[in-house]
Amino acid sequence: MTTLAKADKLTLLNSKIRSINYSKYGLELDLLQENAKSSPNQEEISRLEDIIEDSDRQLAALNEELAEVNALTE
């Protein structure tokens, strides 16, 4: 088990959540661009949608951990 303080864990978790949110938004912009093409590549659209779904699962897992860490006492 890690010996990080609660505040350190929260800082790290929030940083990872923010990073995934930035990446997810970039992917959503990529998807928007691909769909705007006169001939969108369906394979690329599917790939981007899969990565966005993975990002959502990662965010859900990190938010669960965030809730657990927030419940810890100092």
Alpha carbon 48 to its chain's center: 13
Q: What is the pTM of this model?
A: 0.91
pLDDT value for 74: 80
Contact 6, 74 (CB under 8 A): yes
pLDDT value for 1: 61
pLDDT (tens digit, 9 = 90+) per residue, 36-68? 999 999 999 999 999 999 999 999 999 999 999
Domain boundaries, the chain: 6-71
Residue 2 scores a pLDDT above 90: no
The residue whose two tokens read 């912009």 is: 29
| Spatial separation of the C-alpha atoms in residues 43 and 11, rounded to whole Å | 37
pLDDT (tens digit, 9 = 90+) per residue, 15-30? 999 999 999 999 999 9
pLDDT value for 70: 97
In sequence order, which ranges of the chain are alpha helices (DSSP H)? Answer: 6-36, 42-71
